[in-house]
Structures are given as C-alpha cells and as structure tokens.
Amino acid sequence: MTEDAPKSLQDARAFIAGYIETPLPAVRMALSAAFGHVLAEDIVASVFLPRFDNAAMDGFAIRSGDIGPDGAAVLRIAQTITAGEATVPELRAGEAARITTGAPVPPGADRIVVQEAAAVDGDTVRLLVQAGARPHIRHVGEDVSRGDTLLRAGMRIGPAQMALLTALGLRSVLVAPRPKVAVLSTGDELVENPGALAAGQIFDTNRPMLSHMLLAAGAEVTDLGIARDDPEAILARLVEAAADHDLLLSSGGASVGFADHLTKIVARRGFLEFWKLDMRPGKPIGFGDIDDCPILLLPGNPLAAAVGFALVGRAILARLEGRPANDGGFLRLPVDRPLARPVGRIDVRLGRFRFDPQGGATTVEPLPHAGSAGLRFLALADVMILLQPGEAEIGAGELVDILPVWQGFAG
C-alpha cells in the first residue's frame, strides 16, 4: 500500500473510478440475450414510432368536415379496419370506418369518434361528437422521431429498454459483457449447507449472499467454494481464478488476526491498493490485484461483507460495465427518529421504508443495530443508511443517504 491509499469510503470509490479506467471490451449480442446488460453504444432511432397513424380508441374513423354544427354526423359505414390490417382504402366524404385501437387510420380520416358516442343502424352510424373531444389518433413519430438519441451508452437494458429496442426493430446491440466474478469464502469454521455442523462450526452464509447480490447486480458468478485458513490454498484458488475472471471477491480473513491471510496474500502476489476504511461495519475492506485481476477483500462478518459489497463491490462492477462508479450519488430520505451521529467514521445502519398511511412522505425507520455478525435485521431491511460523521445529533425528519440492500440491475 502507498502512503496516500484511500482511507474514506468516498476516496475509495473515487479511487476505483480511476483504477478501472476502461470497461470490459464490448460485445455485439442478439437483443433477446441482452437483458440485464449495459449498453456500450448510444441508441439512435432509425425509425419513427408509431410507424403509422393509428387509432387510439375503438370507434369510428371519420372526416371532421362531416360533423354538423350540432356535433352530429350520420355516416355510411364503408369499411371495417382491425389492428394488423395491411391496406386501407381512402375514406371519402360521408363515410365512416369502423376501427379498433391500434388499427391504421384510413387516408382522409382525421379523427376517431369513440363507439360509446355512436348508434349503429344497419350500415349507417349516427355519431355525436362532444365539443372539445380529442381526435384520438396516434400520429407517426409522436413518441419517437428518426434520429432521436433514445438511450445512452452506460444504461442498463431492463424490461422497458427491452421494449423500446424491440419496437425499433433492433436485432442486436453492443453491450458490456457481464463481469465474471469469482467468489471465495475463507475460514476453517465454515461448512457448506447442506452439511453437518461439528462443534464450533457455522454454515457459510456469505457465499450464497454475495453470489446473489452479484447476480442481482448483473454479474456472472463462479463459485470457488470454501478455502481453509491456509495461505497457500487460498492463493492457489485465487491465482487460478484470476486468469479468467474480471473480479475476485473473497470474504473472511481480511482483518488483523493471526489467521487472517488475505491482505498478506495480495500484497505478496500482487498489490494491495487500500485496506481499512473509516466506516463501520465494513472497516477491514481491502482492494488490490492478483495477477492483474482486481480483488475485493470483504470482511467475514456477514453484515460487513454485505455493506462492503454494496458500497465498494457495486462501484467496481459499474466501472467494469462502463458506468460511473457513483451513479449520481445516493438516494436520500428522511429518517423517522433521531439518531446519534458517528464520530470520525461513517456508520452504516439498516433501515426499513415506512409508508405513511395518511399519504405523507415515506420515511426510513432504522432497525436495531445488533453488530456486524448479525443476519436477522439484514433480512428485514430495505436499505442501508449511511450516517456521515459530525457533531450534532441527526434529527427526526433529517435526510440521510440510503442505498438498497438488494439491488436488481440498478448500479
């Protein structure tokens, strides 16, 4: 580590933004396979949406000139147009076309009158157009014009982006590949579930937790299993994985105990860029590389591991995918009760949304802080709350930084 290695969370995130300068090389991928990936190109519309004028309501397409001064029109039903119709004859004066929502508007027609305002009698229809009634036509290009830049490189393809790209008719897109992340748990006390626990042993909870946090964040996960507290065994697994992964993630052995080997391993084989941040839980977080593959050392305490992943791990993934490491900062919500302010370091607390039944603002209710080894309240939490250090107490209603515990594809 160098003298000026980051000590604060903010500096650590800024460091990562600079450390991972270039995103993973972009790949062209079938649109159908691209869900969850981050765009590596701007998307510029090559078509208009809608592609043709179409009816916004079920009813009758007419010419406004046929409406009398009293708003009434009696017209001959000359054609029926359903959605999907390929060729539509022109609508002449005195004619109406029965039409369904989404069907192409016939040339000559300039408004749809809803069927609720129509009385059909054989092949004629009597329509009553209310003053100020809307024409109910969706015009070519009113949603998207050819040449519009719709999505920017760095945006993730979620369900709505998928719908838009599909509507444009794109077959493939240029995206960042999913970062390949290898996850290793370390500790002599750890046992895989299912399995039998002997005295002093516990189930490895960090690996399933972190793996699913990674998957939810859009990564591809390799399970490296559990390594004993043996530096050579740990190193061997990490070196092997470094060859074909974009990030290594370890948990446990990150602190100062005589059986904590991770920082020494990284410093020996690669370079330890930073270790120990001014925050709690998550203090012994470390970051460096092994054989040029970035490695994030997470503490063994489950809450500390979750906090470290949420605050530093997601920032690394963001950079690998070509997104900013600190997507516009944190969300802020008012806390529902006073809280002691930490001194000299960030305190990360767990919180739950409180929706006001009277329709007032949503607030955050801090959950009890039961130490960084606890799992119970993490399982009840919606968010992590970042309490910035300072003097004055945090008052009820004061805005605090929050970030989701469980984040689906959102940076």
Chain contacts with ligand MOO (rule: CB under 6 A): 280-284, 299, 301, 304, 372
Question: Measured between alpha carbons, how far is 326 from 329 in angstroms, rounded to an integer?
Answer: 5
**Counting contacts by CB under 6 A, is residue 254 touching ligand LQZAQKY5?**
yes
In three-state secondary structure terms, 116 is helix
Q: State which residue, 37 or 283, has the beta carbon closest to ligand MOO.
A: 283
How many Cβ atoms from other residues are within 10 Å of residue 398's Cβ? 14
Residue 225 Cβ vs ligand LQZAQKY5, minimum distance, rounded to whole Å: 11
- Compare residues 204 and 347 and give the one whose CB is closer to ligand LQZAQKY5: 204
Could you say which of ligand MOO, ligand LQZAQKY5, none residue 206 binds, taking C-beta under 5 to 8 angstroms by partner kind?
ligand LQZAQKY5
Is residue 255 near ligand LQZAQKY5 by the rule CB under 6 A?
A: yes
Question: Interface with ligand LQZAQKY5 includes 177 (CB under 6 A)?
Answer: no
250 binds ligand LQZAQKY5 (CB under 6 A): no
- Element containing residue 355 per DSSP (H, E): none
CB contact at 8 A, 212 and 305: no
Total binding residues toward ligand LQZAQKY5, as defined by CB under 6 A: 27
Positive or negative torsion for Cα 163, 169, 173, 178:
positive
Please say which residue, 210 or 304, places its beta carbon nearer to ligand MOO: 304
Q: Tokens representing 307?
A: 């906090």
Residue 253 interacts, among ligand LQZAQKY5, ligand MOO, none and using kind-specific CB cut-offs from 5 to 8 Å, with: ligand LQZAQKY5
Select 205 or 388, whichever has its Cβ closest to ligand LQZAQKY5.
Answer: 205
Query: Can you say whether residue 272 is alpha, beta or left, with left for phi > 0 and alpha for psi between -120 and 50 degrees?
Result: beta
Residue with tokens 């036509």: 137
SS3 state of residue 183: strand
The phi, psi pair for 83, rounded to 5°, reads -60, 135
Cβ atoms < 10 Å from Cβ of 146: 11
Contact of 128 with 99, CB cutoff 8 Å: no
Q: Which does 204 bind (CB under 5 to 8 A by kind): ligand LQZAQKY5, ligand MOO, none?
A: ligand LQZAQKY5
Q: Least CB distance from residue 299 to ligand MOO, whole Å? A: 5
7 binds, among ligand LQZAQKY5, ligand MOO, none (CB under 5 to 8 A by kind): none
> Given the complex with ligand MOO, which of 154 and 342 has the nearer CB atom?
342
Least gap, CB of 149 to ligand MOO (angstroms): 43
| Packing angle, helices 262-269 and 231-242, rounded to 10 | 50
Contact characters 190-209, ligand LQZAQKY5, x per CB under 6 A: x-----------x-xxxx--
Beta strand residue intervals within 311-355, DSSP E: 331-334, 346-354
Burial class (CB in 10 A: 0-12, 13-18, 19+), 69: exposed
Query: What does 187 bind: ligand LQZAQKY5, ligand MOO, none (CB cut-off 5 to 8 Å by kind)?
Result: ligand LQZAQKY5
Give the binding range for ligand LQZAQKY5 (CB under 6 A) out of 15-23, 34-42, 52-60, 254-262: 254-262
- Which two structure tokens, joined as six digits, stand for 260? 């904590």
> What are the DSSP calls for 147-161, one per residue?
T-EEE-TT-B--HHH
Residues linked to residue 30 through DSSP beta bridges, in sequence order: 172
Name which of 104 and 282 has its Cβ closer to ligand LQZAQKY5.
282
Question: Residues interacting with ligand LQZAQKY5, by CB under 6 A?
Answer: 185, 187, 189-190, 202, 204-207, 251-257, 260, 281, 283-284, 299-302, 304, 372-373
